[in-house]
Amino acid sequence: MEPRPRQRRRKAGTEKPRTIHDVPDDILRQILLGLDSPLWLLRAACACRQFRRAVASADGGRAFLRLAGSLHPPVVVGHYHNRSVRPIAFVPSPWPLAPPIDCGRFALDFLPRRIITTTDWVVADCHGGLFVLWDSQNSPPNLIVCDPLTRRGQGIPHPPGKRAGFVVALLDGDGDGNMSISNFRVLYYCFHGDGAPPQVCVFSAADGGDGWRFLRRPPSAGSNYLGHVAGRVDGSIYLDSVAGKVRVLDNARLEVSEVHLPIGIDKSKAPRRSSFTVVHGAGANPTSPPSTWIIHVHGEELEFFRRVRGCSGGEWVLEHNIPKLSEVARGLLAGCPEERLERTEEYVIAVGTGTAVLSAGDRDERKLLFSIDMDTKKLQVAPKEAYRRTNWTFTYTLPWPQLLKACPS
């Protein structure tokens, strides 16, 4: 019988094998920063007290959650579709673009039937796990803010004097900035029937909030808020203005400033409205901020601006342009002789992580859909079934779990 190999005796005083529990919290946080979804972060926090303390402790957890949210693009669960002949519908993002979750939770069946069975109610904005509905057939419109994760909705009273207008954006809540069905704000643009300049007011649902309040701005500043939400970058709201420019609304101070884009399109040659859309993509590595683009559409011309971060917060550079979509589409539609684009106009109807969906209509009012990969700027023909009868979509993203609290030791 062969002799057994001699086992090495452990020397007295040597250290025991280390485990994950011996990793310091600061190093553990660096590892957890690689998790690109709040779902995975929640699951990690539920694994053990050490992970939960690293994620949500009072001395560093809140800063960690803010940093983790800034380093990853929002997780796009799906889109709410405003349709021309059907009620609002939720369309989930396909796996692996979205985590495997119960998409039935995002249906609107927790609201009264008179709301979910009519096309009068439309989505006005979607942010922080909430979305706001408004009744487009009433003036002033009825407003409801909904949280599909908790399946709760809260009606909002009309602005003072029942002034007509429309919702501009959902804002983060008062206080520590956390957003929930009991802590949110709504920015509302008011019209006046007597010819007076429009005004902007904000509704606050936070505890101790005073309901509606008008912003103290010069009368000429009211028009700065006019437009729809193009997207959100670093906590600020980008507004696609009717003047063909992009303005940024500071979420805290509610002040508006203009975004400087190096636009190369000569808009004087074609009197069409410009539209702008913000798209986020993954960063170069798990610990780098997400890439951010703005798509500028004017007629059938497209420009793609990428944000270059620097010491001043970043600037926008022109990364790519498509002078005429119909020429690009001719090659994509070569195998479909019944499809063609002539004298087309387009607009972005949906965005995902690093992708966008472009709707194009020609003089015969046929609509074609194209998907755009923002990294390569490559276009592909997209199936029309998912966006049939869709006028506009609103992206629903999972909120980062900023309300996590550490377990007592």
Q: Both 277 and 399 in a single domain? A: yes
Cis before 92? omega within 30: no
Eight-state DSSP code of residue 154: E
pLDDT band with cut points at 50, 70 and 90 for residue 209: low
The last residue of one of the domains, among 175, 208, 229, is 229
- In a domain? residue 244: no
- In a domain? residue 36: yes
Length of the chain: 409
Eight-state DSSP code of residue 128: T
Q: Both 41 and 161 in a single domain? A: no
The last residue of one of the domains, among 206, 229, 252, is 229
Q: Which of 62-66, 125-129, 238-242, 315-319 has the lowest mean pLDDT?
A: 62-66
| Cβ pair 367, 36 in contact under 8 A | no
Residue holding tokens 């607009």? 347
Q: Is the model's pLDDT at 247 over the cut of 60? A: yes
**Angle, CA of 146, 151 and 152, to the nearest 5°:** 50
Q: Is the model's pLDDT at 320 over the cut of 90? A: yes
| Cβ pair 59, 406 in contact under 8 A | no
Can you tell me whether residue 33 is helix, strand or coil? coil
Can you tell me whether residue 213 is helix, strand or coil? strand
CA 83/CA 260 separation, integer angstroms: 33
Q: Is the model's pLDDT at 236 over the cut of 70? A: yes
**Amino acid sitting at position 247:** R
Pairing mode of beta strands 256-258, 246-250: antiparallel
pLDDT band with cut points at 50, 70 and 90 for residue 58: low
How would you class 35 by CB atoms within 10 Å of its CB: exposed for 0-12, middle for 13-18, buried for 19 or more? middle
Q: Both 88 and 120 in a single domain? A: no
- In a domain? residue 8: no
The secondary element (H helix, E strand) that includes residue 51 is: helix 49-56
The last residue of one of the domains, among 207, 229, 251, is 229
CA 318/CA 295 separation, integer angstroms: 10
Q: Both 303 and 324 in a single domain? A: yes
pLDDT at 80: 92
CA 249/CA 229 separation, integer angstroms: 10
Q: Both 406 and 295 in a single domain? A: yes
Q: Both 408 and 298 in a single domain? A: yes
- In a domain? residue 133: yes
The secondary element (H helix, E strand) that includes residue 46 is: helix 38-47
Crossing angle for the helix pair 25-32 and 61-71, nearest 10 degrees? 20
pLDDT at 9: 54
pLDDT at 263: 92
Q: Where are the alpha helices (DSSP H) in 190-256?
A: none
pLDDT at 179: 83
pLDDT at 364: 47
pLDDT at 170: 92
What percent of the chain is modeled with pLDDT above 70? 80
pLDDT, mean of residues 97-115: 78
Q: Both 213 and 284 in a single domain? A: no
pLDDT band with cut points at 50, 70 and 90 for residue 152: very high
How many distinct structural domains can be found in the chain?
A: 3
Tokens representing 172? Answer: 């983060």
Q: Both 80 and 127 in a single domain? A: no
- In a domain? residue 4: no
The secondary element (H helix, E strand) that includes residue 115 is: helix 113-116
pLDDT band with cut points at 50, 70 and 90 for residue 68: confident
Q: Is the model's pLDDT at 338 over the cut of 50? A: no
pLDDT at 325: 84
pLDDT at 6: 55
Q: Dump pLDDT digits (tens) for 271-296.
A: 678 899 999 988 777 667 788 999 99
Q: Both 27 and 94 in a single domain? A: no
pLDDT, mean of residues 173-183: 76
- In a domain? residue 389: yes
**Angle, CA of 346, 97 and 110, to the nearest 5°:** 85
Quote the domain boundaries for residue 176.
108-229
- In a domain? residue 350: yes
How would you class 13 by CB atoms within 10 Å of its CB: exposed for 0-12, middle for 13-18, buried for 19 or more? exposed
Q: Dump pLDDT digits (tens) for 352-386.
A: 888 999 888 754 455 788 889 999 999 888 887 77
Q: Both 124 and 200 in a single domain? A: yes
pLDDT band with cut points at 50, 70 and 90 for residue 177: low
pTM of the model: 0.82
What is the average pLDDT score of the chain? Answer: 79
Counting other chains too, the contacts that 284-291 makes at CB distance below 8 Å and 24 or more residues apart are 286/33, 286/34, 286/36, 286/71, 286/72, 287/30, 287/33, 287/34, 287/71, 288/71, 289/70, 289/71, 290/71, 290/72, 290/73, 291/73, 291/354, 291/374, 291/375
pLDDT at 210: 65
pLDDT band with cut points at 50, 70 and 90 for residue 97: low
CA 74/CA 62 separation, integer angstroms: 18
Q: Both 48 and 182 in a single domain? A: no
- In a domain? residue 185: yes
Q: Both 277 and 409 in a single domain? A: yes
Q: Dump pLDDT digits (tens) for 6-55.
A: 555 555 555 665 777 778 888 888 888 888 777 788 888 888 888 888 88
Q: Dump pLDDT digits (tens) for 122-149.
A: 999 999 899 999 887 777 788 899 999 8
